[in-house]
Chain A
Amino acid sequence: MENDKKIDAIIVGAGPSGIACALTIKRGGYNPVVIEKSSHIGVKNLFGGAVYLESIKELFPDTYKNFPYERIIKKHNYVIFNKDESLSVSYKKNDENTISIYRRNFDSRLADEAKKEGVCFAIDTLVVDLIIKDKKIIGVKTEYEEIYAPIVIVAEGFNSLLLNKAGLKEATEPKDAILGVREVIKLQSDEINKRFNLKDNEGAMYEFFGGLNKENEDVPLAMGFLYTFKNNVSIGVGVSMENLKNNKITPYEYLDRLKNNEFIKPLIEGGELLEYGAHSIPEGGYKKIPKLYHNGCMLVGDCANLVDSIHFEGTNLAIKSGILAGKTAVIALNKNDFSEKVLKNYKKELYKSFVIRDLKTYKSVIETLFKRRESVFSYYPKKIIEFFNIFTTPDNIPKKDKYRNFLFSFIKERKLKDLTADVISFVKCILEAVI
């Protein structure tokens, strides 16, 4: 390492969770080193498009407004598709909590702020193994050398080879992972404001349901998204790997279907493709959280499966987990005790925070969505749109007859078994969320 100061903690990975953790340890009076495999911080990081200010505020209470923000997302849109019909709900809010950012700009800025406070970064360095001795993690082996420290924090991201290799996390099953593919498309700022009905630096985000499978195809557990930036939009789709594994349909085929949808096409038409990308996202939720602490080691961010895929939240959970692991690391360094006994405080704090509590709220939702995906992403969207069709079509048939037929259609079209399963799943998820 470039300086001879003793290393108190090694953080593997310079994403939001790793940087938040390192900063917290530094502020606690110790010397962390963040090891990052890429040549510049942030260049291998990718996501959909928005962060939530609250988590950045916690890290930088005075300067949180100075980050490279693109647009303040004020319009949240939810759109259901059925072939060439669509139904959208648009919620306009006035707070400034959701902001679009580019991962590369944002993460490198986070790192710059951390460097100003004295956090040391070792870039261009791939960690290939954890060093384990007497059931304690005592350091890391990089592609060049071995580095030792009393605490190692793994912030490697979802595709975590280190944890799998060391047996600290089970191999991910396809049903517990989503692949996100997304494109950045250039449109001019004025054009974005016109197309999305925005003013100045206001932004919009969309979540899209349904419309991704052709007739007779398996309905994928998949959702589309779109975020606006100053001069660009990012559009993408997240597809369950279980569907990708079996369906012989490429992820970019799903993306193309989304882009060619009658509703979306006019929003992006004529734009120039600036960047394509793909990234995997944990989808296992609460039930798939690995053990978060070991002797000399803690897991933060995506590699600990801390993603709330119902609300598209990940960065804020990553930052919070980084802060809490950092605080526990400081306690351990103060006590000079790095055993599980001390580090389990991290788990305790994380379980008290919104991070685990939110994941617990939705503990069966993803599983249920996957099982009932034909209902959720195909049948009910179709029926909701059918209702609006009835509602908006004056065709000289008495409305009462049409409403009756609509209600009876559920019984005619659906097997009782499916209807019951849908109702039970729905009630189960609601009960879990509120009790």
Chain B
Amino acid sequence: MYTGGCNIDKMADMDNLNPEIDERLATLRFICNNNRHLKLNVELCKKCENKNCLYFCPANVYKYENDTLDVEFENCLECGTCRICCPYNAIEWEYPKDSSGVEYRFG
């Protein structure tokens, strides 16, 4: 049911103290579910000039490509930062169902 996030090849090498966000996320296990638990109100996003969600999300879930915001909800850490920080309240936020989503080994 889940695709393990623990990709050994991508494990960060700490000789580099600043791993890319993808390397950081590769240390986590994400249980997948096709249900999008984060949905955008695209019309509101169009109005947003700053699009600071591209910065404040700790998992880089929000990406802006070809004039559209893409939500990589599979990498969500469920912290709720986007829910609190989106200036237009444009994110419809639910917890992932079927016990999917992020899991920590240490926490």
- Which residues in A have some Cβ–Cβ distance to B below 8 Å? 37-40, 42-47, 102-105, 107, 123-126, 128, 143, 158-159, 161, 171-174, 177, 179, 181, 183-185, 232, 234, 241, 244-252, 256, 259-260, 265, 268-280
Contacts and interface: CB of A to CB of B under 8 A. Distances in A.
Given A44-B102, A265-B17, A275-B105, 8 more contacts: A46-B104, A128-B94, A245-B52, A248-B55, A270-B14, A275-B104, A276-B25, A278-B79
B27 A275 contact: yes
B86 to A, nearest CB: 9
A273 B12 contact: yes
Interface of B: 11-15, 17-19, 21, 23-25, 27-28, 31, 50, 52, 55-60, 77-81, 83-85, 87, 93-99, 101-107
Contacts of B17: 256, 259-260, 265, 268-269
A241 B84 contact: yes
Interface on chain A toward B: helix, strand, loop, or mixed SS? mixed
A185 B79 CA distance: 21
A270 B59 CA distance: 24
B104 A43 contact: yes
Contacts of B58: 179, 181, 250-252, 278
A392 B17 CA distance: 32
A244 B103 contact: no
A232 B27 CA distance: 15
B14 A252 contact: no
A44 B80 contact: no
21 contacts: A39-B99, A44-B102, A47-B107, A104-B106, A126-B99, A128-B94, A234-B106, A241-B84, A244-B55, A244-B56, A244-B81, A246-B52, A247-B55, A250-B21, A250-B58, A259-B17, A259-B18, A268-B14, A269-B14, A272-B13, A278-B77
Contact of A174 (B18, B59, B84, B99): B84
Contacts of B79: 159, 179, 278-280
Nearest to B100: A39
Contact of B60 (A161, A250, A274, A275): A250
A159 B105 CA distance: 21
Nearest to B26: A276
Contact of B12 (A247, A260, A272): A272
Residue of A42, A43, A171 most packed against chain B (CB within 10 A)? A43
A181 B77 CA distance: 10
Contacts of A271: 14
A181 B19 CA distance: 14
Contacts of B56: 179, 241, 244-245, 250-251
B24 A126 contact: no
A12 to B, nearest CB: 11
A360 to B, nearest CB: 24
A84 B103 CA distance: 37
B81 A39 contact: no
A278 B107 CA distance: 9
Contacts of B52: 244-246, 248
Residue of B56, B59, B97, B98 most packed against chain A (CB within 10 A)? B56
A273 B24 contact: yes
B107 A38 contact: no
A277 B102 CA distance: 9
